[in-house]
A and B are shown apart, each in its own frame.
Chain A
């Protein structure tokens, strides 16, 4: 939207029984809401966060822009408690895509059959070839900027926009990879390298993870949601859904808090797309006489198998000025260890990327992970412009003990605060050692000195409403539809049975487009869908 422009949209009355209420407007919910509206359904998508106007609302400031994050209280425990809030949870219309790093990678095809083909985790009820065609569609919808040829995996169509120029931090990754004899590539990114509609080309501000103030970023906020509005959908912001109502085994609508009071929106179908903490939380909070253990939970797996990805890093000093704060933070990537299975003492894979932390994040990293404070911290911080790092996105395994549960404490809406329990298994630890060891060698080979390891960081959320072929071992089927309640869907990272070794957004969006097609097909056949 342009400066000062209004955002007109259709508004549904609470009593109107609309075809779909979608809870959450991020990569899953926003994309699905758009596609459902374009298929001709009536859709209202709810988000607990505000509908930002980036040109007017976004400052170039880390502290202020934390307004994009989900900062409601959550309790973390387990042997390796997760850091929540900034890096993995959004509270904005557009969800986490408003502050994501725009990394747009496809799954390795074998990961969709990880159990059968690779011997770990679980198989997905999806076929990689079908997913490949949905990836094509998302990459076109977002006009991904990427390399002419991609070094790994089956052939894919060319990226729609040219790759971005590399910054020095990305050139460090390239140097290291070449010295180690592995392939690398400019990262496919969802920020345009040439004009597109109201989006100017990226100006390399480097504030991507704090919100893009120029609208170059192809977030759900600037891509699918304007399309959804044009197709007649309503985006209801600042609306916190606290409970899904059921009657006779079917969802009938949602209770939500907006403008100081609880209200009820009727709906023929409900889609939960709140990401892997809020989605199971909402399903569990909606427990009632019909479904005493929470909705969609006959398997007992709602909230279980919570997965994150490793986000560990190596950092080092360089003689050259790097100034990694310029440009998108991850301009270069290698997926070598996603596609190479030899030489591993663990299941799963990882990619790693160049980094561009801004000052408060860098200060937190030096003090938190590196343990510096006092003069040691402030003098190390003065080396900021000479630092480069490599950071993994690595695949941790699903474990039932890692989970989201409800506590007795209440939040500002009077809803139970979630507890997030997380611990590494031995395979995760072996993967951590491999990744840190390899990246340390690569960074040294690129000319890095005083190299140190950041071991505490994780990213992305998955698994707490997993999809599968068997109602006993999964929460939803391959169409993201609940096994228990035929007009209830889940559409976000929660449905992933395994995490894979790449950032999730492109896969979540591909699944959302597929889900919309499946809903359309089943409505045509008179199943579920429209009443």
Chain B
């Protein structure tokens, strides 16, 4: 994995934590999220969690030079352990925890069948091949227990992992989002307008200016 292009050099949304953009409730909520470490898991067993970590790395890959990593798999496990539901479930899928346990076990079984190794031990090419087959509904081994693999991919893997990743401040900084905004909000609304507490984008030849601006967002 290559280092990712940094469009907002020096921007860290957490630098705004003690500014009027974050109210007390927001600070408490984000502190709790940041306390989740990559290896924390309560709901899934060790094997399933390892598979989930490997899947997460393919769905929302992270740059090799990033520390600490966004604990995507741990955040999904946290959701499953706390029993927070989405509010709906496709008729072909079991309840979310059951769906994840079954689907991760089935992905591992497919990996064993195709490559003779657990999913998490496979290379990226083989993992992506299995995930693409899953996405198309092409995985139908007995371990799926009748659950359509495409539904599992589109309604569990994708939304749960993508939402977890983009709920993390590291991902907010990566896409240049302003982040929490209560009570201050924003003032400059039009095209190409930016408040001093928003991320500055790095344009060719102006990288240093963006960097300097981004160091000031927390002031």
A interface with B by C-beta (< 8 Å): 56-64, 66, 69-77, 81-86, 89, 165-168, 171, 202-207, 213-214, 320-323, 325-327, 358-360, 362-364, 366-368, 373-375, 377-379, 381-382, 384-385, 419-420
Contact = CB atoms under 8 A, between A and B. Distances in A.
Contact of B186 (A56, A327, A375): A327
A203 B87 contact: no
B25 interface: yes
Contacts of A85: 85-88
A381 B166 contact: yes
16 contacts: A58-B25, A59-B26, A69-B87, A83-B88, A85-B86, A168-B193, A203-B184, A205-B185, A213-B25, A213-B183, A368-B158, A377-B59, A381-B166, A381-B171, A384-B175, A385-B201
Given A203-B183, A321-B194, A359-B171, A71 B86 contact: yes
A436 B163 CA distance: 26
B175 A382 contact: yes
Interface string B15-31: 00000011111101110
Given A61-B180, A84-B87, A364 B201 contact: no
A416 to B, nearest CB: 15
Contacts of A368: 154, 158-159, 162
A75 B26 contact: no
Q: Which 8 A-B pairs have the closest CB atoms?
A: A85-B87, A203-B185, A60-B180, A84-B88, A77-B91, A363-B166, A71-B87, A205-B181
Nearest to A419: B91
B189 A374 contact: no
A59 to B, nearest CB: 4
B89 A75 contact: yes
A379 B167 CA distance: 17
A66 to B, nearest CB: 7
Contacts of A165: 189
Nearest to A166: B189
Contacts of B180: 59-61
B113 interface: no
A59 B25 CA distance: 5
B159 A81 contact: no
B87 to A, nearest CB: 2
Determine the main DSSP class of B at the interface with A: loop
Given A205-B184, A373-B158, 9 more contacts: A59-B29, A59-B182, A61-B167, A71-B87, A360-B166, A364-B163, A375-B61, A381-B175, A384-B175
A509 B187 CA distance: 32
B182 A214 contact: yes
A227 B203 CA distance: 53
A76 B89 CA distance: 6
Contacts of B60: 373-374, 377-378
A64 B28 CA distance: 11
> Among A66, A171, A204, A322, which residue has the most Cβ atoms of chain B within 10 A?
A204
B108 interface: no
Contact of B163 (A64, A73, A363, A384): A363
A363 B165 contact: yes
A382 B176 contact: yes
A205 B23 CA distance: 12
Given A59-B25, A204-B189, A381-B175, A359 B166 contact: yes
B58 interface: yes
Given A60-B182, A374-B59, A381-B175, A74 B192 contact: no
Given A62-B167, A320-B192, A385-B176, A378 B61 contact: yes
Contacts of B65: none
Given A86-B87, A374-B61, A204 B4 contact: no
A69 B84 CA distance: 11
Contacts of A57: 25
Contacts of B189: 165-168, 204, 326-327
B119 to A, nearest CB: 16
Contacts of B154: 368
B182 A205 contact: yes
B211 interface: no
Given A203-B185, A320-B191, A367-B158, A325 B177 contact: yes
Given A73-B95, A77-B90, A385 B175 contact: yes
A323 B182 contact: no
A382 B7 CA distance: 8
A367 B61 contact: no
Interface in B159-211: 159, 162-163, 165-167, 171-172, 174-194, 198-199, 201
Nearest to B128: A374
B59 A207 contact: no
Contacts of A322: 191
Nearest to B6: A382
A82 B87 CA distance: 11
B219 interface: no
A304 B134 CA distance: 35
A200 B206 CA distance: 38
A76 B91 contact: yes
Contacts of B26: 59-61
A388 to B, nearest CB: 10
Contacts of A213: 23, 25, 182-183
Contacts of B177: 325, 358-359, 384-385
B190 A171 contact: yes
Contacts of A167: 189-190
